[in-house]
Structure 1
Amino acid sequence: MMPYRANPGLLVALIASLVAIAGLFLASAIQTGDGVTVSEVHFRGASGAQMRALLFRPRAATSAKPAPAILAVHGYLNSAEMQANFATEYARRGYVVLAPDQRGHGGSDPVAFADGFGGPDALAYLHSLPFVDRRNIGLEGHSMGGWTVLSAAKAMPDGYRSLVLEGSSVGAPFAPEGARAFPKNLLVVFGTRDEFGGFMWGSESPLATSAVKKLRNLFGTTEPVVPGRLYGRIADGNARMLLTPAVTHAWLHQSSAGITPALDWFGRTLDGGRALDVTDQVWPWREAGNFVALMAVPLLIAGLIAASATFFVKRSAPKQNPAPSPSVARPIAKLVAIALLPALLFIPACMATEALLGQNALFRQTFTNQFAGWALLSALLSLFMLRRKGGGLGMREVPHALALAAIILLPAYVLVLGADQLLHVNPSWWFITIRPISLERARDFLLYAPFFVASCLCSLQLVQAASPLDVGSMGGAVARAMAALAGGFVLFLIAQYGVLAATGHLLLPGEGLRVISAIGFAVFLAFVGLFGAVSQRSHGSVVPGALVSGLFVTWLLVATQPIGV
């Protein structure tokens, strides 16, 4: 009898799936610690639109003994899960927490920006819960979530006691104008390295936020606001405080720089919370569990790509590439060009696509439109370079590889869906989240997938032509593919944030949203490099990995980007 030999790819996939499950269970255990129940709720607003939210309910919150509550809202291009670090700590301290998806985001009905971003409806729903003390409600929002809670405060001026703005502002263009009496008991946390300083507060921000006129008017002073000083009186409802930690915009919901001040402020302005030191925080463990899962899911997919060569494809013999020449300068130069050009084109391509397409009823996701435009341009550029080298795309393999890609992604999707529905956690790190695709967004997936599949197919074939992934070790091939696809974005981000650290402004001022989005693409493209290298080594072709990559990137984007029409 022939001895049984385990399939290495299946073994990697099995271990990765177990690691992902362990990470997700850790994240769930942390956010449900101390007797907190986390559930997904749905409710209809005044206009009839349905909204989705995560509800964190402490065990002590009952109809007989209502608890104080907090409405916690995420920013633009995010979803309710982005407030889960805040919500975990609020709930541990006895607050009921409602973290909604803004309108047009996550599982809430389109369109984005409608009905005060959904803030008034979310606050009304929070008021309807019998276990909530309606006299003790706080509002907290990050970025555009700040405008959401300001809209809620404006709609229900007697429906809250205090408000926290994290990386957000009052006034134009979307929020009610702040004044000495509005909003009540306000804490502003705005980082000195915020990418949106000029947009949120004025040209002197973020380094000199305390001196801008809009903030001085809000605080009722003609002098620069002193960070950390309490202005007004909490008992009178006109308290004001500014804090300016040395962090970037998105990092506020990923660090104690944003979470600790909010815990302290609500502890001072709301009654009935559990006495717990503000530095006693467990959310990093929740984040660690989600991060482990985020790293494990691509490994699960890569393992299945390798395993599928045994079960579904008769593996062709690896191509006999000529031995590399003593000088490696030429292949390195090619890989550098492959890495840099798409990164340099990212902002211009997104801007051009926005100008051409804007928002329309067919392509409804404004930022996914921009990313798809960049993907198409990158695909055309890669195809041009590939044709000059005499290479092809392997289109004959596409129909079979497409079916194979769907089979490979199915276990990962089931894992993510199960964690989302049963545990209310997702594989994630920071704002990079793998969420299931709602039925509302399924049509968007089908529309955008061809753009990202084409981009991944062309770019991986170009990498293979420039520096064959069959040559050398598996680790070396993965490293080359990752560097070629994600390295340009890494350098782009180093340049942007290096200038931000030195001057308080990005290298491209006014492009904060796209620069932050580039962080996600650096991660996504590293995954694409992994899948392509494994595919070439196991199947003798990058095509299966390219189709897996294109569908995976489309999944990640479509599930999280807002619907604007």
Structure 2
Amino acid sequence: MSDIFSNHLLTSRHALILGLLLAVLGSISASLIQSDLGDVEVTDITIAAHNGETISALMYLPPNATEKTPAPAVINVHGYVNQKEVMSNFSIEFARRGYVVIAMDMSGHGGTGVIENDGSRGVSDVLKYAHTLPFVDSNHIGLVGHSMGGWSSVTAAVNHPELVRTLIVAGSAQGGHEVEFMLGAPTVSDDANFNFGVEFGKYDEFVAINYFDQERAVDFVESHWLMAPFGASEPVILDRVYGDFASGTGRMATQSPETHAGVHQSSVAIANVLKMMNLSSPAPVDRDESNQIWPYKEVATSIAYLGLLLFMFGLVAQLFRTSMFQKLVQPMPTTQPMHPTLYLGFAGLIIAAVALLMVPLQMTAMHVFGANSLFPMLFANTSILFFGTVQLIFLALFVAYRVIRRSESSNFWVTHGLSTNSATTEFDWRYIGRAFGLSFLVVAAGYLLVATVYQALNVDMRWWMLLIRPMEPHRFLSALIYLIPFTAIFLVNGLLAFGWLRLRDFGGGIQTSVIWSSALFFVNASGIAIIIGIQMFSLYTYGKPYFGEVGYDTLMVILGNGFIPLLAVTSIVSTLCFRKTGNIYTGAFLSGMLATWMIACYQPY
């Protein structure tokens, strides 16, 4: 890794220090923005569930909310495969306007345990808890739920209408028992004794599981599932107030130009939700809906995320210089690079295979293997089976290629980075132990940094859905099991990238490292980007998803957004470690640990 940092303006020590500063200062800035420069008190709280489990939540307490002047409250509920932090953009803006906010982790998500046989997934328990708070106006408690959080909020409101003033769902709907996708939700009647609002993105991918009689999100206003609770016999008119919010019979529907997950990053969607809540429970602090500061927090947490990565990259380079790990450093083995035409041909095959197999392989994995006690994280399992199968396919292609080209060098273990000695064929377990130890120390240091920031400031390091956060104890134990298959995937990926599809040296360490990293990222991630691109093209051109009629297949494409930054990080790590050590082991261990952490930290189960 010295070829990147040494003898350049940015040394490994500078990278480590700069990364640490960016991670800490970005997180402090995010915390200040989240608390409206300290005016809002943000605390991590634990709420007792009715079955003995605990519910993890963040409470945002504005200065106007006191026992003498209780304030209206909003319970924010995230969607499937998310956590309370993803709703921070809504939470920040509600709290700035004087609402008490409780952003909760649903059942099986984040720090909340599994609450069996509860269609509200813990929302009912949080709703009851909010009514016990002396600084909350119990006559003005609202629910805001995104996606599955919307269904959960509908269930809580229908079961406890006397506890709810206003229910707003974003990217979600009422009803849904007719479709066998995560149970749906009860039906909100037109005479339900609470206000009801709907925010639905113009390009929402999940129209088929929320408004079953429509194919395009823009047409959700014509759906029976929207018109029924509005008591309307004709398509609902957007932004029009139906009924009376002051008396608890109000109904309103809005639409922002967003995808399903895009509402979290939408000033328009957030303004629409603020407006509907304000009609029912006027904000104690008068601020225009367009006055929003949450984007600055997104910038700050993004800077913190990048700082964390830079910190870990710098730490890797520093550790290679220590007496304990200097023995890992070896020259790269020399081998004949693959001809550019052949390289492009095989790279094209890999990209095409990833694109073609991404959705069907994961859907097959979900239905055939699902989740179990040993591997309890459903979408970690689908990821492993998808990426693992792709690697095995091309490992078989590689073997066939080797058989055909018998004239190649016989020093296979050295030239393909499998030997622990780049000069001779050798496999030393002590070397493997050192490689694993270096990787563990780097990830442990990064984890300690993230956990310290999270504990002290109540912010994670993220941009939108792309995040890294501490893991709860049960996730950590599962992660130790997942480390094995993820590391195996990157061992094969490194063998194929640096032993088979080897590029030529482009002169100059940094130039070659950048080109190799970029090429590996392009090969690994382009197929995923193609699928996401096709989905977005279909949504923005035809108004409906190309992939997805029943829900999970659409979800696979959305989750693909998280694979791309992960593969960017692992491509850099794998390349730099191979060029520093002459073999694939350190890069595979480090990539496997990072992938396990980044995937396991947010999986529900």
TM-based fold match above 0.5: yes
Does residue 140 (structure 1) correspond to residue 140 (structure 2)? The answer is no
Give the C-alpha shift of residue 183 in structure 1: 6.4
Q: Secondary structure at the match of 2:138?
A: strand
1:229-308 aligned at under 5 Å gives the runs 229-271=240-282, 273-308=284-319
Distance 1:21 1:168, change over 3 A: same
Post-superposition Cα deviations, 1:351-409, rounded to whole Å, max 9, x if no partner, equal 12112222333322222221222233133224323434556572746443222211111
Does residue 28 (structure 1) correspond to residue 41 (structure 2)? The answer is no
- Structure 2 counterpart of 1:520, which letter? G
Match of 2:153 among 141, 149, 156: 149
**Percentage of matched positions with identical amino acids:** 30
Partners of 2:13 and 2:302 in 1: how far apart? 22
Distance 1:324 1:514, change over 3 A: closer
Distance 1:362 1:293, change over 3 A: same
Match of 1:528 in 2: 570
* RMSD between aligned residues: 2.1
Q: Secondary structure at the match of 1:207?
A: helix
Match of 1:559 in 2: 601
Give the C-alpha shift of residue 128 in structure 1: 1.6
Whether contact under 8 Å (2:195, 2:245) holds in the other structure is yes
Whether contact under 8 Å (2:351, 2:526) holds in the other structure is yes
Moved more, 76-85 or 229-238: 229-238
Match of 1:16 in 2: 19
Q: Secondary structure at the match of 1:379?
A: helix
Partners of 1:307 and 1:272 in 2: how far apart? 52
Does residue 166 (structure 1) correspond to residue 165 (structure 2)? The answer is no
Partners of 1:562 and 1:363 in 2: how far apart? 12
Match of 1:193 among 190, 203, 208: 203
Partners of 1:183 and 1:332 in 2: how far apart? 63
Partners of 1:249 and 1:112 in 2: how far apart? 27
Partners of 1:321 and 1:188 in 2: how far apart? 61
Match of 2:435 among 383, 401, 404: 401
Partners of 2:213 and 2:481 in 1: how far apart? 39
Partners of 2:352 and 2:305 in 1: how far apart? 26
Whether contact under 8 Å (1:382, 1:458) holds in the other structure is no
Moved more, 8-17 or 383-392: 383-392
Match of 2:79 in 1: 75
Match of 2:230 among 219, 223, 232: 219
Give the C-alpha shift of residue 112 in structure 1: 7.5
In structure 1, runs of 5+ residues without a counterpart are none
Match of 1:477 in 2: 516
Post-superposition Cα deviations, 1:32-87, rounded to whole Å, max 9, x if no partner, equal 12510111111211111111001111122222221111000100000000111110
1:40-51 aligned at under 5 Å gives the runs 40-51=44-55
Post-superposition Cα deviations, 1:257-294, rounded to whole Å, max 9, x if no partner, equal 22111111122210452111111110000011111122
Post-superposition Cα deviations, 1:144-185, rounded to whole Å, max 9, x if no partner, equal 111121122123211121121110000113211121023621
Query: What TM-score do you get using the length of structure 1 for normalisation?
Result: 0.94
Post-superposition Cα deviations, 1:169-222, rounded to whole Å, max 9, x if no partner, equal 001132111210236211111112111011111242413111112211121111
Moved more, 281-290 or 52-61: 52-61
Match of 1:514 in 2: 556
Query: What TM-score do you get using the length of structure 2 for normalisation?
Result: 0.88
Whether contact under 8 Å (2:417, 2:583) holds in the other structure is no
Match of 1:503 among 532, 542, 546: 542
Give the C-alpha shift of residue 482 in structure 1: 1.5
Whether contact under 8 Å (1:306, 1:535) holds in the other structure is no
Give the C-alpha shift of residue 236 in structure 1: 2.7
Moved more, 46-55 or 497-506: 497-506
Whether contact under 8 Å (1:39, 1:55) holds in the other structure is yes
Match of 2:194 among 175, 184, 195: 184
Q: Secondary structure at the match of 1:163?
A: strand
Partners of 1:383 and 1:41 in 2: how far apart? 49
Post-superposition Cα deviations, 1:223-259, rounded to whole Å, max 9, x if no partner, equal 1111111111112312111112221000001111221
Whether contact under 8 Å (1:73, 1:146) holds in the other structure is yes
Match of 2:330 among 309, 316, 334: 316
Give the C-alpha shift of residue 513 in structure 1: 0.8
Does residue 415 (structure 1) correspond to residue 449 (structure 2)? The answer is yes
Partners of 1:294 and 1:519 in 2: how far apart? 16
Partners of 1:509 and 1:534 in 2: how far apart? 38
Partners of 1:20 and 1:10 in 2: how far apart? 15
- Structure 1 counterpart of 2:481, which letter? L
Q: Secondary structure at the match of 2:45?
A: strand
- The number of residue pairs the alignment matches comes to 558
Q: Secondary structure at the match of 1:61?
A: coil
- Structure 1 counterpart of 2:21, which letter? L
- Structure 2 counterpart of 1:526, which letter? A
Distance 1:231 1:371, change over 3 A: same
Match of 2:368 among 356, 359, 384: 356
Give the C-alpha shift of residue 419 in structure 1: 1.3
Match of 2:92 in 1: 88
